[in-house]
Structure 1
Amino acid sequence: MLQVTALVKKYGKQNAVNNITFSLEGGEVVGLLGPNGAGKSTTMKCIVGLLRKTAGEITIGGHDHLSVEAKKLFSYIPETPHVYDLLTTWEHLQFIAQAYNVPNWKEKAEHWMEVYELTDKKDKLGRDLSKGMRQKVSICCALLPEPQVLFFDEPMIGLDPKAIKNTKRIFKELKESGKTILVSTHLIDSVETIADRIMIMKDGNIIGNDTLANLKATFSQAEDSSLEDLFLELTKDE
Structure 2
Amino acid sequence: MKSILIASTSTVHGSGYLEYLLDELKLHFKSAQEILFIPYARPGGISHDEYTKTVSKAFEKIEKTVKGLHEYENPKKAIQNAQAIFVGGGNTFVLVNQLYKNDVLTAIKSAVTSGTPYLGTSAGSNICGLTMNTTNDMPIVYPPSFKTLGLVPFNINPHYLDPIPGSTHMGETRETRIKEFHAYNTQPVIGLREGSWLEVKDDSLKLKGTLDARIFEFGKAPYEIETNTDLEFLK
**TM-score higher than 0.5 here?**
no
- TM-score w.r.t. the length of structure 1 is 0.37
Larger Rg over CA atoms = 1
RCO higher in structure (CA 8 A, sep ≥6): 1
Report which of the two has the higher share of strand. Answer: 1
Report which of the two has the higher share of helix. Answer: 1
